Structure 1
Amino acid sequence: MSRPGLPPEPGPDEEPFSLGFAISRDAPGSDSVLTVAVALGANLLIAVAKTFAALVTRSASLTAEAAHSWADTGNEVFLVVANRRAARPPDRGHPLGHGREAYVWSLFAAVGLFVAGGAFSVTHGVSQLRSPEPAGDFLLGYAVLALSFLLEGVSFLQSVRQARADARVMERDLVEHVLATSDPALRAVFAEDAAALIGLVIAGAGLGAHQLTGSPVPDAVGSILVGVLLVVVAGVLINRNRRFLVGQEADPRVRAAVLRSLLAMPEVTRVTYLRLEVVGPRMISVVGDVDLAGDDTESHLAVRLRALEARVSSSPAVVGTVLSLSAPDEPSLTP
C-alpha cells in the first residue's frame, strides 16, 4: 500500500518510479547541511570580528554590519533546526512527513533578518545622522571588512556550487533556481551571503567616505543602505516561505515529467487529473485520476491502483500517492 504515511511496496522486479529528473532527498539534503554549516561557521567568526571593529572604530556602517552578521548567525541556527526537523520520516500524525517545518523555521530566520539586521541598521543609521559620532582606527575597519569579504565569499561559493548543481538537474538558470527551489536553506544562505557581500562593499564605501571627508554622514548613510538591503532580502525570503507553507504546486517541468512517466506505464492508458504539491524540500505528494488498461472487476482494479500508488511512491522525492479511477467522459491530460 502506498497511501500517505505508509511505506511503499513496489514489486521486487519493478524499477523505482522516475520523475524525469535525478532528484534524491538524501544527497541534496546533505549538500544543504554542508552549506548551512559553512555559513554558520563563517558568520560566527565574522560577527565577532565586526563587533570588535565596530566598538573600536565607532563606525555606523560597521555597527550595522555587525548586527547583520549576528542576525545571519542566528538565522543559520534556525536553518539547522529546519533541516533536522524536516528530515523526520512520516508518521501516523503526519502522513506526508514533516517537510513543511523547514519553511516554518526558515520563516523565523527571515523575520529575524528583517528585525535584527534590517530594522536595527536603519534605526542606527538614522540615529547617527541625528547625533553624528566621528569614527577612528580606519585601518582596523578596512582589515575586518576585507577578512569578512573573504569568509563570506567562501560561504557564498559553497551555496553557488550547490545551487548550480541543483539548477542543472532542474534545467534552470542559477537565479531562477534559487528563487524557485523548494529548499529554503539553500535560498536563505545564497540570498544572505549575496546581501552580505554587497553590504560589505557599502560599509567599506561609507567608512572610506567618512575618512576622506571627515564627516560621519556617509557612514550613517551606509548603515541605512545596509538596512534597506536586508529588509528587501528578508521580504523576498518571507514571501517565498509563505507561499510554500500555504501550499504550492510543483514546478511545471516536474509535473510534465511525472505525467510522461505515468503514461509510459503499460497499465496506464490515460491520466485525466494530476496534482503535485510541494510538501517539503524536494518532497512532493501526488494525487491523480488514471484509466487502467483492461476490463477488470472492481476488486481487481483496487488492487492494481494500490500497486500503482506504491510504484509512484517508490521515487525518493514522492512522500505520498493517492490515485483514483478516471470517469469515461473526462478529457485526457497530455505532457
Structure 2
Amino acid sequence: MKREASEVKQRVNAKRTLQGSQKVVGLAMISNIALFSGKLYAAWQSGSASMFSEALHSLADVLNESLLMWGIWRSLRQPDPQHPYGFTAERYAWALVSGVGIFFLGGGVSLYHGISGLMSANHVLGDMTSSWCVLGASLVFEGATMTYAYKHIAQSARTAGVSVTDYLKRGADPTAVQVFAEDCAAVSGVAIAGTCLGLTKLLNNPMIDSLGSITIGILLSGVAAFLIKRNIAGLVETRMPVGKEREIVEELEADPIVSSVQDVKSTALGTESARFKAEILFNGEEVTQRYIQRNRAHFQSEIALLKTLTTEKEIEEWTKRQGGRIVSTLGNEVDRLELKIITKRPEVKHIDLEIL
C-alpha cells in the first residue's frame, strides 16, 4: 500500500509538470501565430530579407510547438500492457521531430533567402515603419514567453534537485526546454534583424539585410542542433550517474538483512526518471530472526505446538508453515528496501531487487 501510494504521488507530480508544460507551449504558440502574421506583413511592406527570415522563424515555431503539444498529449496516456513504463519517450520523439523542423524550415530557408539576397543585393527596401513596430512587439511577446518558460524550468529543476543548467542539458521535460531555447533564439533574432535593418537604412546597403538573414539562419541551425542532440540522448537511455548509483548500492549493503549486492544495472531518462535493478543475497539468519521478533508471541505458541507433534507428517506441515511465513517476511523486507530507496531517491521510478 505504501509503494502504491508512492507511485500514485509520482504520477500526480508528473502529470502536474506536463500540464505546466502545456501552458508554456500553448502561450508560445498563440504568441507566435500573432507574430508570424505581423512579421510577414512587415516583410511584404519593407522587402526585408531579415524580416522574412523572422517570419519564417515564427512559422517554424508555430509548427514545432504544435508537435510539442501533440507529444505532451501522447505522453499523458496511462501505461498499458504493451507499454508498462508509460509513454514518456514520446515527448522526446516529437521534440526531436520539432528540432529537425527548426533546422530545415527555420534555419535552412533563412540561409537560402539570405544567400539569394546577396546574389541580388541591389533590391530596395520599402517602408520600415511596420518592421520596427513588429520587432518591438516581438521583443515584448517573445521575452514574456521566454520568462514564463524559464520560471517553469527553474521550478522543475528545484523539484529534481539539479541546477537550471543541468536541467537544460538533461532535464526530463524536453518541451519547456525547447520552448525556452526557441524563445532565446527569437529574442536574439529580433536583435539581429533590428540591427541589420538599422544599418541597412543608415548605410543604404541592402547586403547588410541579407547578411542578417544568414545570421538568423545560422542561429536557428545552432539551436536546432542542440535540441536534436539533446532529444536523441533522451531517447537512448543511459546509466544513472555513477555517484547516485553507488549511493543506492551502499545504502543496500549497509542494511543488516543484505549480505551482498551484485549485477547492478540502472538506466536514466533525464534527471527525473531512472530505473534500478540489482541481485541481492539476503542474510537468511537475519530474515528468520526478524520473523521471530515481529511474531514472538505467535512463534512461542508454534514452539509449544511443535513439542506436541509426534508424527513426521505433522512436523513436516509445521515446517512448511514456518517456511512460508519466513518467505513472506523476506517479501516484506524487499518492499521495505524498495520504499526506502524511492523515498530518498524520488527520481528512481522503478526498482527491481532480485533474490539470489
**TM-score normalised according to structure 1 size:** 0.82
Greater Rg, structure 1 or structure 2? 2
How far did residue 274 of structure 1 move?
4.2
Equivalent of 1:307, from 335, 338, 342? 335
Q: 1:28 aligns to what?
A: 17
Distance in 2 (alpha carbons) for counterparts of 1:94 and 1:279 = 16
Q: Work out whether 1:123 is the aligned partner of 2:86.
A: no
Q: What is the aligned partner in structure 2 of residue 68 from structure 1?
A: 57
Deviations 1:94-148 (A, max 9, x none): 1111111111100000000001100000000000000122212112111100100
RMSD: 3.2
Alignment of 1:1-335 (within 5 A): 9-10=1-2, 16=6, 24-132=13-121, 133-251=123-241, 255=245, 271-279=261-269, 282-293=272-283, 294-295=286-287, 299-300=327-328, 303-304=331-332, 307=335, 311=339, 318-325=348-355
Distance in 1 (alpha carbons) for counterparts of 2:3 and 2:130:
66
1-side partners of 2:79 and 2:264: how far apart? Answer: 22
Match of 1:331 in 2: none
The 8 Å contact of residues 309 and 322 in structure 1, kept in 2 or not, is answered as no
Amino acid at match of 2:193: A
* Higher RCO by CA contacts (8 Å cutoff, separation 6 or greater): 1
CA distance change for structure 1 residues 107 and 126 in 2, over 3 Å: closer, same or farther?
Answer: same
Amino acid across the alignment from 2:185:
A
Note closer, same or farther for the CA distance 1:282–1:174 as it changes in structure 2 (3 Å cut): closer
CA distance in 2, matches of 1:149, 1:264: 56
Q: 1:316 to 1:121 in 2, by over 3 A?
A: same
Between the aligned partners of 2:152 and 2:133, the Cα distance in structure 1 is 29
Residue 335 of structure 2 aligns with an amino acid whose one-letter code is A
Shift of 1:170: 3.7
Q: Whole-Å Cα distance in 2 between the matches of residues 218 and 27 of structure 1?
A: 46
Cα separation, 2, equivalents of 1:176 and 1:98: 23
Q: Is the 8 A contact 2:71 2:95 kept in 1?
A: yes
Closer, same or farther in 2 for the Cα pair 1:237/1:295, shift >3 Å? same
Gaps of 5+ in 1: 1-8, 327-335
Paired with 1:112 and 1:305, the residues of 2 have a C-alpha distance of 50
Of 216-225 and 205-214, more deviation after overlay is shown by 205-214
Question: Does the 8 Å contact 2:50/2:213 carry over to 1?
Answer: yes
Q: Which moved more, 1:210-219 or 1:285-294?
A: 285-294
TM-superposed CA distance for 1:281, in Å, is: 8.5
Name the structure with the higher helix share.
2
Distance 2:342 2:162 in 1: 25
Normalised by the size of structure 2, how large is the TM-score? 0.77
Tell me, yes or no, if the aligned pair for 2:45 and 2:128 is still in contact at 8 Å. Answer: no
